[in-house]
Amino acid sequence: MESRRTPRFCLFGTLLIVAGLGFYLVGVLLAVPAWAFAAPWLKSATEGLVWYSGRPVFFGLVFIVLDLYVFAPRKRAGRQVVYSGLKNRQLTVVLTAYNDEASIRNAVADFLAHPLTSRVVVVDNNSTDRTSAVANAAGAAVVVDGGRGTGTASSGR
């Protein structure tokens, strides 16, 4: 595919706006000593900075609007998004469980009721109750992990 260099007017517009706001801030901050020391040359310099700081802001906004509404549609005109559907849409759901005897049956049943779910695997983190037996009775494949506590199944031991 051929790589084209396109102008990034939105970037340059943003940089111009930041520069204009920086000039404005410098002008406002320098106005305080200009008024405090009654320095006419500093006062005129700060007025010029504040007055002319609007120009980069204006041109930055023009660049951004041009990029978004004129150049951006042209940049994306030749591009297509290719989508190929999935051949196998079946899911395997993996649940970690630690002493979840009271809720594991409903969780497994809910996932198995979904039409895209092909199987449910419950990773039992060495529970002290009947979590494994209840999950197995509900139709899940059970893997007992030697660790203790939720989250240890993926510890990589």
pTM of this structure: 0.46
Comparing 17-26, 86-95, 144-153, the range with the smallest average pLDDT is 144-153
Question: What's the pLDDT tens digit per position in 87-143?
Answer: 888 999 999 998 999 999 999 999 999 999 999 999 988 888 999 999 999 999 999
Per-residue model confidence (pLDDT) at position 153: 53
Rounded mean pLDDT, 51-80: 87
- Which parts of the chain fold into alpha helices (H)? 9-36, 40-52, 54-66, 72-75, 101-113, 131-137
CB-based contacts of 148, cutoff 8 Å, min separation 6: 98, 125, 126
**Mean pLDDT computed over every residue of the chain:** 86
Asked whether 97 and 151 are in contact (CB, 8 A), the reply is no
Which residue type does 22 have? G
What pLDDT is stored for residue 40 in this prediction? Answer: 86
Query: Hey, what's the torsion of the CAs at 109, 114, 119, 123, to 10 degrees?
Result: -50
What is the per-residue pLDDT for 1? 45
| Residue 105 · residue 138 · CB < 8 Å | yes
pLDDT band at 157 (very low <50, low <70, confident <90, very high): very low
